[in-house]
Amino acid sequence: MVDKFKTILNNLEAKGPITLLALLKMDDILDKWIVVFCAPWSTEQNMAETFEFIRKEILKTLDAQEVSEIARIAIYGRSEHLIEELLKYQSGVELKDQKINGNLVHSANIIRSNPAV
Amino acid sequence: MATHTDFKKLALERLKTVDVLMSVGEWWVAAYMLGFVLECVLKAGACKALCLEIYPAPQTTKEKKITSYFLTHDFDMLLVISGASDIFGLSGSAAATWSGFMQEYQESYTRIRYDLKSQYDEAKVKRIYSFLTREPDGIIPLMENKNKW
């Protein structure tokens, strides 16, 4: 899954630089991922378009089983506290049972972390 | 515990409560109540999808698996039993609506009750409200149009 998200990252970065792309598991019962995304070119006005762009790349790259392991895509602005917290970690970092933004994250993969963007 | 009709009625009644709360700028409580509305919508959906006369209650089951699936405030779990994953899952036609609503609740909505400092302002609550109610792709209109609740 993480390797495939590196491919997805490359395709997404074709549109422009990405501040953060991360996979988070926060659910106590269902073992599903939340895709967290932040980019300077993603705004509130084009959020639906950005969502569809990310979703299409995911559906194109992952198989049906892997897609079913993703609960949703969360697109945030740079000022969102969760984004600030996740940007403390570098690209490639894998986290287990960390408290982030006040919530227990069971598992996290930071695919891209670029605070300078 | 409640029936399908009870949950549907509760959802629509509490949505009216949300309107009142929003009209007086009670954004924090409105955000909490919007979470409750979605919980009722999904539980009504579960009653319909699974042909449940009465939604399972704590006193009616000791089976932990039943408890974790039904007696929860977890939206992702409730989505599974509501039978609406085909609409709101990532491959579904309204994945954006579900994700948009959910991303405003980074923790369980029930924990909002204990927040001393509100994370919910007017823009955020109006966004949540829109994802839940807007025609034609809000969660409630879709549940209605697809005969899911």
Peptide linkage before B136 cis (omega within 30 of 0): yes
Give the mean pLDDT of chain B: 91
H/E run at residue A115: none
Tell me which CATH code domain A2-113 carries.
Answer: 3.30.300
CA-to-CA separations, B77 to A93, A110, B31, in angstroms, rounded: 28, 25, 20
With an 8 Å Cβ cutoff, is A63 touching chain B? no
Q: Where are the domains of chain A?
A: 2-113
Q: Which residue of B has its CA nearest to A55?
A: B90
Q: Token digits for A8?
A: 């997805």
Is B96's CB within 8 Å of A101's CB?
no
Helices and strands in chain A: count of H runs, count of E runs? 4, 5
Query: From CA A44, how far away is CA A106, in angstroms rounded?
Result: 29
∠ CA A53-B134-B32 to the nearest 5 degrees? 95
Query: From CA A16, how far away is CA B7, in angstroms rounded?
Result: 45
Is A72's CB within 8 Å of B91's CB?
no
Which residues in chain A are closer than 8 Å to B91, comparing Cβ atoms? Answer: 59, 64, 67
Q: Is B125 exposed, middle or buried, given 0-12, 13-18 or 19+ CB atoms closer than 10 A?
A: buried
Burial A75-107 (b: 16+ CB within 10 A, else e): bbeeebebbebbbebeeeeebeeeebeeeebee
pTM: 0.90
Counting every residue, how long is chain A? 117
Q: How much is the pLDDT for B118? A: 74
Q: How much is the pLDDT for A89? A: 95
More confident: A83 or A2: A83
CATH 2.30.320 correct for B4-145: no
Which of B78, B75, B15 minimizes the C-alpha distance to B47?
A: B78
Is B76's CB within 8 Å of A73's CB?
no
Work out the minimum CA distance from A32 to partner chain B, whole angstroms: 9
Q: Where are the domains of chain B?
A: 4-145
Among the listed ranges A17-21, B38-42, B63-67, B91-95, which one has the minimum average pLDDT value?
A: B63-67
What is residue B109's DSSP assignment? G
Per DSSP, the residues of B49-94 read HTT-SS---GGG---HHHHHHHS---HHHHHHHHT-HHHHSTTSTT
Is A82's CB within 8 Å of B106's CB?
yes
Q: What percent of chain B has pLDDT over 90?
A: 75
**Using one digit for the tens of pLDDT, what is the confidence trace for A65-115?**
999 999 999 999 999 999 999 999 999 999 999 888 778 889 999 999 999
**Using one digit for the tens of pLDDT, what is the confidence trace for B64-118?**
677 778 888 889 999 999 999 999 999 999 999 999 999 998 778 888 877 777 7
Q: Is the ipTM of this complex over 0.90?
A: no
Q: How much is the pLDDT for B94? A: 96
Q: How much is the pLDDT for B58? A: 73
